[in-house]
Protein backbone atom coordinates (compact mmCIF):
# COMPACT_ATOMS: atom_id res chain seq x y z
CA UNK A 1 0.00 0.00 0.00
CA UNK A 2 1.50 3.33 -0.98
CA UNK A 3 2.56 5.70 1.78
CA UNK A 4 1.51 9.34 2.01
CA UNK A 5 4.09 11.94 1.05
CA UNK A 6 6.50 13.16 3.69
CA UNK A 7 5.02 16.64 3.32
CA UNK A 8 1.52 15.30 4.05
CA UNK A 9 2.83 13.41 7.06
CA UNK A 10 4.43 16.56 8.44
CA UNK A 11 1.32 18.61 7.86
CA UNK A 12 -0.68 16.00 9.74
CA UNK A 13 1.84 16.00 12.55
CA UNK A 14 1.72 19.79 12.82
CA UNK A 15 -2.07 19.72 12.91
CA UNK A 16 -2.15 16.83 15.35
CA UNK A 17 -4.31 14.79 13.00
CA UNK A 18 -4.08 11.91 10.56
CA UNK A 19 -2.05 8.76 10.46
CA UNK A 20 -0.01 7.01 7.85
CA UNK A 21 -0.77 3.54 6.63
CA UNK A 22 2.46 1.79 5.77
CA UNK A 23 3.22 0.00 2.55
CA UNK A 24 4.51 -3.50 3.22
CA UNK A 25 6.46 -5.92 1.07
CA UNK A 26 6.22 -9.66 0.70
CA UNK A 27 7.99 -10.69 3.93
CA UNK A 28 5.96 -8.33 6.12
CA UNK A 29 2.71 -9.43 4.51
CA UNK A 30 3.69 -13.04 5.05
CA UNK A 31 4.35 -12.28 8.70
CA UNK A 32 0.78 -11.10 9.14
CA UNK A 33 -0.45 -14.27 7.47
CA UNK A 34 1.73 -16.43 9.69
CA UNK A 35 3.85 -17.91 6.92
CA UNK A 36 7.05 -15.85 6.97
CA UNK A 37 10.38 -17.35 7.93
CA UNK A 38 11.34 -17.32 11.59
CA UNK A 39 8.97 -17.49 14.53
CA UNK A 40 5.73 -16.10 13.13
CA UNK A 41 2.32 -17.06 14.39
CA UNK A 42 -0.93 -17.04 12.46
CA UNK A 43 -3.14 -15.17 14.91
CA UNK A 44 -5.15 -12.09 14.07
CA UNK A 45 -3.60 -8.67 14.35
CA UNK A 46 -4.93 -5.16 14.71
CA UNK A 47 -3.89 -1.79 13.40
CA UNK A 48 -1.34 -0.07 15.65
CA UNK A 49 1.27 2.63 15.23
CA UNK A 50 5.02 2.16 15.47
CA UNK A 51 5.52 3.02 19.13
CA UNK A 52 2.76 0.56 20.09
CA UNK A 53 4.43 -2.17 18.03
CA UNK A 54 7.71 -1.45 19.84
CA UNK A 55 5.84 -1.61 23.16
CA UNK A 56 4.33 -5.00 22.23
CA UNK A 57 7.78 -6.36 21.37
CA UNK A 58 9.22 -5.20 24.71
CA UNK A 59 6.32 -6.77 26.61
CA UNK A 60 6.95 -10.07 24.82
CA UNK A 61 10.71 -9.93 25.39
CA UNK A 62 10.31 -9.34 29.13
CA UNK A 63 7.56 -11.94 29.43
CA UNK A 64 9.42 -14.71 27.58
CA UNK A 65 12.87 -14.22 29.11
CA UNK A 66 13.26 -13.53 32.85
CA UNK A 67 16.86 -12.43 32.21
CA UNK A 68 15.76 -9.42 30.15
CA UNK A 69 15.75 -5.85 31.47
CA UNK A 70 14.80 -2.41 30.19
CA UNK A 71 16.61 0.60 31.58
CA UNK A 72 17.38 4.10 30.36
CA UNK A 73 16.25 7.69 30.54
CA UNK A 74 12.55 8.00 31.50
CA UNK A 75 11.67 4.39 30.58
CA UNK A 76 10.14 3.81 34.02
CA UNK A 77 7.13 6.01 33.27
CA UNK A 78 6.83 5.17 29.59
CA UNK A 79 9.50 7.31 27.95
CA UNK A 80 9.20 10.46 25.88
CA UNK A 81 7.76 8.49 22.95
CA UNK A 82 5.65 6.18 25.20
CA UNK A 83 7.42 3.04 23.93
CA UNK A 84 7.85 1.61 27.45
CA UNK A 85 4.36 2.41 28.75
CA UNK A 86 3.10 -0.19 31.24
CA UNK A 87 6.32 -2.20 31.45
CA UNK A 88 7.29 -1.15 34.97
CA UNK A 89 3.78 -1.78 36.29
CA UNK A 90 3.66 -5.28 34.83
CA UNK A 91 7.23 -6.48 35.32
CA UNK A 92 8.32 -4.44 38.32
CA UNK A 93 10.87 -1.70 38.83
CA UNK A 94 13.67 -4.20 39.39
CA UNK A 95 13.51 -5.04 35.67
CA UNK A 96 12.28 -1.73 34.19
CA UNK A 97 13.88 1.35 35.69
CA UNK A 98 15.15 4.86 35.02
CA UNK A 99 18.80 5.81 34.90
CA UNK A 100 20.57 9.14 35.35
CA UNK A 101 20.81 11.48 32.35
CA UNK A 102 24.11 10.00 31.20
CA UNK A 103 24.30 7.92 28.03
CA UNK A 104 27.81 6.69 28.77
CA UNK A 105 26.74 5.67 32.25
CA UNK A 106 23.73 3.78 30.91
CA UNK A 107 25.90 1.74 28.56
CA UNK A 108 28.61 1.31 31.19
CA UNK A 109 26.09 0.05 33.74
CA UNK A 110 25.30 -2.74 31.33
CA UNK A 111 28.70 -4.35 32.01
CA UNK A 112 27.79 -7.69 33.59
CA UNK A 113 24.39 -7.56 31.94
CA UNK A 114 26.07 -6.80 28.61
CA UNK A 115 28.84 -4.20 28.01
CA UNK A 116 29.65 -0.73 26.70
CA UNK A 117 28.95 -0.33 23.01
CA UNK A 118 32.15 0.25 21.01
CA UNK A 119 35.01 -0.68 23.32
CA UNK A 120 33.36 -3.60 25.10
CA UNK A 121 30.11 -4.91 23.60
CA UNK A 122 31.29 -4.99 20.00
CA UNK A 123 34.51 -6.83 20.93
CA UNK A 124 33.27 -9.06 23.75
CA UNK A 125 32.53 -12.11 21.61
CA UNK A 126 35.74 -11.72 19.57
CA UNK A 127 38.16 -11.31 22.47
CA UNK A 128 36.64 -14.30 24.30
CA UNK A 129 37.23 -16.54 21.28
CA UNK A 130 33.45 -16.90 20.89
CA UNK A 131 33.22 -18.36 24.39
CA UNK A 132 31.02 -15.51 25.63
CA UNK A 133 28.63 -13.00 24.11
CA UNK A 134 26.59 -10.02 25.26
CA UNK A 135 23.50 -12.10 25.90
CA UNK A 136 20.97 -10.13 23.88
CA UNK A 137 22.11 -6.54 24.37
CA UNK A 138 19.90 -4.30 22.22
CA UNK A 139 20.26 -0.53 22.40
CA UNK A 140 17.15 1.28 21.16
CA UNK A 141 17.45 4.85 19.95
CA UNK A 142 15.21 7.28 18.05
CA UNK A 143 16.77 8.87 14.98
CA UNK A 144 16.04 11.23 12.10
CA UNK A 145 14.00 14.27 11.22
CA UNK A 146 10.87 15.05 13.17
CA UNK A 147 10.02 18.55 11.93
CA UNK A 148 11.16 20.47 15.00
CA UNK A 149 14.16 18.62 16.43
CA UNK A 150 16.88 20.94 15.17
CA UNK A 151 20.55 20.09 15.12
CA UNK A 152 20.56 17.80 18.18
CA UNK A 153 17.41 15.72 17.93
CA UNK A 154 17.14 15.18 14.17
CA UNK A 155 20.47 13.47 13.50
CA UNK A 156 20.95 10.13 11.76
CA UNK A 157 24.12 8.62 13.27
CA UNK A 158 23.83 5.07 11.90
CA UNK A 159 27.08 5.26 9.91
CA UNK A 160 29.12 5.77 13.11
CA UNK A 161 28.02 2.38 14.44
CA UNK A 162 28.30 0.64 11.07
CA UNK A 163 32.04 1.26 11.32
CA UNK A 164 32.36 -0.90 14.46
CA UNK A 165 32.95 -4.61 13.77
CA UNK A 166 30.88 -6.80 16.08
CA UNK A 167 27.75 -4.63 16.15
CA UNK A 168 24.56 -5.10 14.19
CA UNK A 169 22.61 -2.03 13.09
CA UNK A 170 18.86 -2.32 12.36
CA UNK A 171 16.40 0.35 11.14
CA UNK A 172 12.72 -0.58 10.55
CA UNK A 173 10.35 1.22 8.19
CA UNK A 174 6.95 0.36 9.74
CA UNK A 175 5.18 -0.96 12.87
CA UNK A 176 5.03 -4.57 11.67
CA UNK A 177 8.68 -4.52 10.70
CA UNK A 178 9.66 -2.82 13.96
CA UNK A 179 8.08 -5.46 16.18
CA UNK A 180 9.47 -8.46 14.29
CA UNK A 181 12.95 -6.99 13.87
CA UNK A 182 13.14 -5.80 17.49
CA UNK A 183 12.30 -9.23 18.87
CA UNK A 184 14.87 -10.81 16.53
CA UNK A 185 17.44 -8.24 17.70
CA UNK A 186 16.79 -8.90 21.39
CA UNK A 187 17.25 -12.64 20.84
CA UNK A 188 20.39 -12.30 18.73
CA UNK A 189 23.63 -13.16 20.59
CA UNK A 190 25.36 -10.11 19.10
CA UNK A 191 24.93 -6.54 20.37
CA UNK A 192 22.41 -4.63 18.25
CA UNK A 193 21.86 -0.90 17.82
CA UNK A 194 18.19 -0.52 16.89
CA UNK A 195 17.27 2.88 15.43
CA UNK A 196 13.60 3.90 15.42
CA UNK A 197 12.41 6.67 13.04
CA UNK A 198 10.83 9.41 15.16
CA UNK A 199 8.56 10.57 12.34
CA UNK A 200 6.78 7.24 12.36
CA UNK A 201 6.19 6.65 16.09
CA UNK A 202 2.57 7.83 15.92
CA UNK A 203 1.94 8.51 12.25
CA UNK A 204 2.80 5.07 10.82
CA UNK A 205 -0.17 2.73 11.25
CA UNK A 206 -0.70 -0.80 9.92
CA UNK A 207 -1.98 -4.18 11.04
CA UNK A 208 0.47 -5.91 13.36
CA UNK A 209 0.12 -9.50 14.67
CA UNK A 210 -0.40 -9.44 18.44
CA UNK A 211 1.54 -12.63 19.07
CA UNK A 212 5.28 -13.30 19.26
CA UNK A 213 7.05 -13.28 15.88
CA UNK A 214 10.46 -12.45 14.45
CA UNK A 215 11.69 -11.19 11.09
CA UNK A 216 15.13 -12.20 9.78
CA UNK A 217 18.12 -9.93 10.33
CA UNK A 218 20.61 -9.20 7.54
CA UNK A 219 17.98 -9.87 4.91
CA UNK A 220 16.87 -7.01 2.66
CA UNK A 221 13.38 -6.91 1.23
CA UNK A 222 12.38 -6.06 -2.33
CA UNK A 223 9.31 -3.89 -1.78
CA UNK A 224 8.67 -2.95 -5.38
CA UNK A 225 9.77 -4.81 -8.52
CA UNK A 226 11.27 -2.85 -11.40
CA UNK A 227 13.60 -3.07 -14.37
CA UNK A 228 15.18 0.35 -15.05
CA UNK A 229 16.87 1.37 -11.79
CA UNK A 230 17.36 0.05 -8.23
CA UNK A 231 16.59 2.30 -5.24
CA UNK A 232 17.98 1.48 -1.77
CA UNK A 233 16.90 3.01 1.53
CA UNK A 234 15.89 2.27 5.12
CA UNK A 235 13.64 3.60 7.86
CA UNK A 236 11.46 6.64 7.22
CA UNK A 237 13.17 7.35 3.89
CA UNK A 238 11.36 4.37 2.33
CA UNK A 239 8.13 6.42 2.21
CA UNK A 240 9.92 9.15 0.24
CA UNK A 241 11.45 6.63 -2.15
CA UNK A 242 8.12 4.89 -2.71
CA UNK A 243 6.51 8.17 -3.67
CA UNK A 244 9.38 8.94 -6.06
CA UNK A 245 8.95 5.50 -7.64
CA UNK A 246 5.27 6.22 -8.28
CA UNK A 247 6.03 9.56 -9.93
CA UNK A 248 8.81 8.01 -12.02
CA UNK A 249 6.38 5.35 -13.24
CA UNK A 250 4.21 8.13 -14.72
CA UNK A 251 7.20 8.96 -16.93
CA UNK A 252 7.65 5.34 -17.94
CA UNK A 253 10.55 4.58 -15.55
CA UNK A 254 10.31 1.23 -13.74
CA UNK A 255 11.98 1.40 -10.31
CA UNK A 256 12.93 -1.53 -8.09
CA UNK A 257 12.78 -0.49 -4.42
CA UNK A 258 14.69 -2.34 -1.68
CA UNK A 259 14.47 -1.84 2.09
CA UNK A 260 17.89 -2.75 3.48
CA UNK A 261 16.45 -3.20 7.03
CA UNK A 262 19.82 -4.38 8.43
CA UNK A 263 22.74 -2.05 7.70
CA UNK A 264 25.42 -4.22 9.31
CA UNK A 265 25.90 -6.93 8.21
CA UNK A 266 23.94 -5.90 5.08
CA UNK A 267 22.43 -8.09 2.39
CA UNK A 268 24.83 -7.52 -0.51
CA UNK A 269 23.48 -10.47 -2.49
CA UNK A 270 19.94 -9.07 -2.82
CA UNK A 271 21.22 -5.65 -3.86
CA UNK A 272 23.74 -7.14 -6.29
CA UNK A 273 21.06 -9.28 -7.95
CA UNK A 274 18.83 -6.25 -8.41
CA UNK A 275 21.57 -4.00 -9.81
CA UNK A 276 22.73 -6.78 -12.15
CA UNK A 277 19.21 -6.70 -13.57
CA UNK A 278 18.64 -2.92 -13.74
CA UNK A 279 22.20 -1.71 -14.37
CA UNK A 280 21.64 1.41 -12.24
CA UNK A 281 21.61 2.19 -8.50
CA UNK A 282 20.43 5.08 -6.33
CA UNK A 283 20.95 5.15 -2.55
CA UNK A 284 19.14 7.63 -0.29
CA UNK A 285 19.33 8.42 3.42
CA UNK A 286 18.84 11.38 5.78
CA UNK A 287 22.39 11.32 7.16
CA UNK A 288 25.01 13.63 5.58
CA UNK A 289 26.31 12.38 2.26
CA UNK A 290 30.03 12.35 3.16
CA UNK A 291 30.85 9.16 5.03
CA UNK A 292 27.21 8.08 5.05
CA UNK A 293 26.41 4.39 4.72
CA UNK A 294 25.30 5.04 1.15
CA UNK A 295 28.98 5.48 0.27
CA UNK A 296 29.73 1.94 1.49
CA UNK A 297 26.87 0.54 -0.57
CA UNK A 298 28.05 2.46 -3.64
CA UNK A 299 31.63 1.22 -3.28
CA UNK A 300 30.66 -2.41 -2.66
CA UNK A 301 28.20 -2.58 -5.56
CA UNK A 302 30.67 -0.87 -7.89
CA UNK A 303 33.17 -3.62 -7.06
CA UNK A 304 30.62 -6.38 -7.52
CA UNK A 305 28.72 -5.03 -10.53
CA UNK A 306 31.28 -2.85 -12.32
CA UNK A 307 30.83 -4.45 -15.74
CA UNK A 308 27.05 -4.35 -15.47
CA UNK A 309 26.64 -0.76 -14.27
CA UNK A 310 25.34 1.56 -16.97
CA UNK A 311 25.68 4.78 -14.94
CA UNK A 312 27.50 6.08 -11.85
CA UNK A 313 25.85 5.15 -8.55
CA UNK A 314 23.66 8.06 -7.43
CA UNK A 315 23.34 9.23 -3.82
CA UNK A 316 20.54 11.48 -2.58
CA UNK A 317 21.27 12.26 1.06
CA UNK A 318 21.37 14.93 3.73
CA UNK A 319 23.80 17.83 3.43
CA UNK A 320 27.23 18.09 5.05
CA UNK A 321 26.06 20.48 7.72
CA UNK A 322 24.57 20.25 11.22
CA UNK A 323 20.87 19.56 10.89
CA UNK A 324 19.24 23.00 10.35
CA UNK A 325 15.96 23.74 12.09
CA UNK A 326 14.51 26.48 9.86
CA UNK A 327 16.18 25.12 6.69
CA UNK A 328 15.10 21.52 7.18
CA UNK A 329 13.29 21.49 3.81
CA UNK A 330 16.54 22.28 2.02
CA UNK A 331 18.48 19.68 4.00
CA UNK A 332 16.18 16.70 3.54
CA UNK A 333 16.50 14.20 0.63
CA UNK A 334 13.00 14.93 -0.62
CA UNK A 335 10.88 13.19 -3.24
CA UNK A 336 11.72 15.77 -5.89
CA UNK A 337 15.45 15.42 -5.28
CA UNK A 338 15.14 11.65 -5.60
CA UNK A 339 13.00 11.93 -8.72
CA UNK A 340 15.53 14.24 -10.39
CA UNK A 341 18.32 11.79 -9.58
CA UNK A 342 16.29 8.87 -10.95
CA UNK A 343 15.79 10.65 -14.27
CA UNK A 344 19.42 11.77 -14.50
CA UNK A 345 20.70 8.25 -13.80
CA UNK A 346 18.31 6.52 -16.20
CA UNK A 347 19.15 9.01 -18.95
CA UNK A 348 22.91 8.95 -18.33
Which of 168, 188, 202 has the alpha carbon at shortest distance from 18? Answer: 202
Which of 224, 233, 231 has the alpha carbon at shortest distance from 339? Answer: 231
Backbone angles phi, psi at 14, to 5 degrees: -65, -35
Instruction: Report d(CA 173, CA 188) in Å as an integer.
Output: 20
- Secondary structure class of 326 (helix, strand, coil): coil
Residue in 8, 73, 153, 246 annotated catalytic = 153
Residue in 103, 211, 219, 296 annotated catalytic = 103
Which of 21, 53, 51, 20 has the alpha carbon at shortest distance from 213? Answer: 53
**DSSP result, 193-252:** EEEEETTHHHHEEEEEESS-----TT--EEEE--SSEEEEE-TTHHHHHHHHHHHHHHTT
Which of 295, 299, 300, 272 has the alpha carbon at shortest distance from 284? Answer: 295
Would you call 103 a catalytic residue per the annotation?
Answer: yes
Using an 8 Å Cβ cutoff, are 219 and 267 in contact? Answer: yes
Would you call 163 a catalytic residue per the annotation?
Answer: no
**Helix (H) and strand (E) counts in the chain:** 15, 14
Scanning 24-121, the segments in alpha helix (DSSP H) are 26-33, 50-64, 87-91, 103-109
Give me the active site residues, please: 103, 153
Amino acid sequence: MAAKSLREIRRAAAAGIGRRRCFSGDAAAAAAAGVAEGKVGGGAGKEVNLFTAINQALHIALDTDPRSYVFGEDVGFGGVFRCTTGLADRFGRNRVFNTPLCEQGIAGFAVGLAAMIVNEAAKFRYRSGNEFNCGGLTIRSPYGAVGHGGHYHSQSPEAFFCHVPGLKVIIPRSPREAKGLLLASIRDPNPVVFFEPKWLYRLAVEEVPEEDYMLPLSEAEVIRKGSDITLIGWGAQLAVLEEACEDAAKDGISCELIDLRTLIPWDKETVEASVSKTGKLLVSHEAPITGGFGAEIAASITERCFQRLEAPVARVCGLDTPFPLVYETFYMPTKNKVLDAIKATVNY
